[in-house]
Structure 1
Amino acid sequence: MARWPDGHHVLLDRLDAHLHTVLIATVGYLALVLMLRGTGPRTMAKMTPLDFVIAVTLGSAFGRVITAVDVSLAQALAALALLVLLQWVLAAGRARWRLVRRVMDSPPVLLYYDGEMQHRALRKHRLTDIDVHTAARQSSMGSLADAQAVILHQDGSLGVISTESMGDGSSVMPFIERIRG
């Protein structure tokens, strides 16, 4: 752009940069919403570590392309689409193959079972007895005596299974066997 002695080139450059930002932000946002909508509710469910990494990466990439005047709309859309595609491929692989699940997921961890704290598991995951008691209180239990099991879920939350709702324990047995074996 030719430089005008009165500073108009600066104004035009700034206007171009602002319009570029508005265009990238608007089109990028709408495209990202449509892409995430198209990948299904799993993308936006409670986050596993994989989901968290993808969400942070998408947010970072989107923030970068909005403010970068040297990134074209096509580059921005390609980057966002690639990240969403990678998330979808990894999630599909996770649903189909045990090896991918083993690499991508942390299994649930039994922290308390049948009156006993699982101290090794608590130490390994940097938790304390207090965390287990807090989970029981948040589940409206006044005592761990009412809890049959406390589990650290993949998303980092603690789940409490009461003694009366344990049933046959089929959702907990693989983790009990791991501790006993």
Structure 2
Amino acid sequence: MIFDSWTGLARVLIVGPLAYLSLVVLLRVSGKRTLTKLNAFDLVVTVALGSTLATTLLSKSVALAEGVLAFALLVVLQFAITWLSVRFPTVGHLVKSEPSLLLHRGRFLDKALREQRVTREEVLAALRSQGAYDVAAVSAVVLETDGSLSVMTEKSDAALRHGTLSNVAGAHGG
């Protein structure tokens, strides 16, 4: 249970760095988009890469070449989906969510909070973390596609009116 064989340890010491190096090289070649701030789709790919690395390291039945091929397959699939989602909005809508407006001009949007399963306390915590202590003085709070909360102040509100910030689902719904 604690020790199986020296061969198993040697395999981890040899395969581990090679599998890790292969994964790093594939991620660098595939570009920054492969592991950005995580939305649900990116999280699945990241977990799958981690699981594949662990399996390649610890399972004697998985050869290094098979593990590297699995890494490459996941990276290519991630690249293909992101490439398609940039070029075809329908694909993008299938794999990514839209940002949601949770607070607008100091007023909580209770329907959006319920739909997104976010509490007022979580929004207030995001405000505090941005140094905003007066809800009435906040222009908007947006639940981003990666699950983070963005707080928009007067300056960002002016940028929104001038079209320099992306549209947010519900921004015009009041």
**TM-score where L is the length of structure 1:** 0.85
Change (3 A) 1:172 1:112: farther
Matched, 1:80 2:71: yes
- List alignment gaps of at least 5 residues for structure 2: none
2:36 counterpart of 1:68? no
Shift of residue 111, structure 1, vs aligned partner: 0.2
Aligned-partner Cα distance in 2 for 1:162–1:142 = 12
Query: Are 1:45 and 2:27 matched, yes or no?
Result: no
SS of the residue corresponding to residue 165 of structure 1 reads: helix
The change in CA–CA distance for 1:150 and 1:172 in structure 2 (over 3 A counts) is farther
Report the counterpart of residue 7 of structure 1 in structure 2.
none
Work out the percentage of aligned pairs sharing the same amino acid. Answer: 31
Residue 149 (str. 1) matches residue 121 (str. 2): no
Residue number among 120, 124, 149 corresponding to 1:129 in the alignment: 120
Q: CA deviation at 1:168?
A: 5.0
Distance 2:119 2:8 in 1: 52
The answer as to whether partners of 2:140 and 2:153 remain within 8 angstroms in 1 is yes
Q: Which amino acid aligns with 1:156?
A: G
User: Radius of gyration: which is bigger?
Assistant: 1
Q: 1:172 Cα shift?
A: 5.9
Q: Does 1:109 pair with 2:104?
A: no
TM-score normalised by L of structure 2:
0.88
- CA RMSD across the alignment: 1.9
| Residues 70-121 of structure 1 deviation map (CA, whole Å, 9 limit, x = unaligned) | 1112111111111111111111112211011100111000001123211001
In the other structure, the counterpart of 1:90 is 81
What is the letter of the counterpart of residue 80 of structure 1?
Answer: F
The corresponding residue for 2:22 is 31
Cα contact 1:24–1:76 (8 A) shared by 2? no
Q: 1:42 to 1:72 in 2, by over 3 A?
A: same
Distance 1:172 1:110, change over 3 A: farther
TM superposition shift of 1:36? 0.2
Number of residue-to-residue matches in the alignment: 168
Q: Secondary structure at the match of 1:110?
A: strand
In 2, the alpha carbon distance for the partners of 1:26 and 1:42 equals 24
Query: In 2 relative to 1, CA 116–97 (structure 1 residues): closer, same or farther, beyond 3 Å?
Result: same
Give per-residue Cα distances to partners, 1:135-171, cap 9 Å, x unaligned: 1111111201221110000111100101243115233
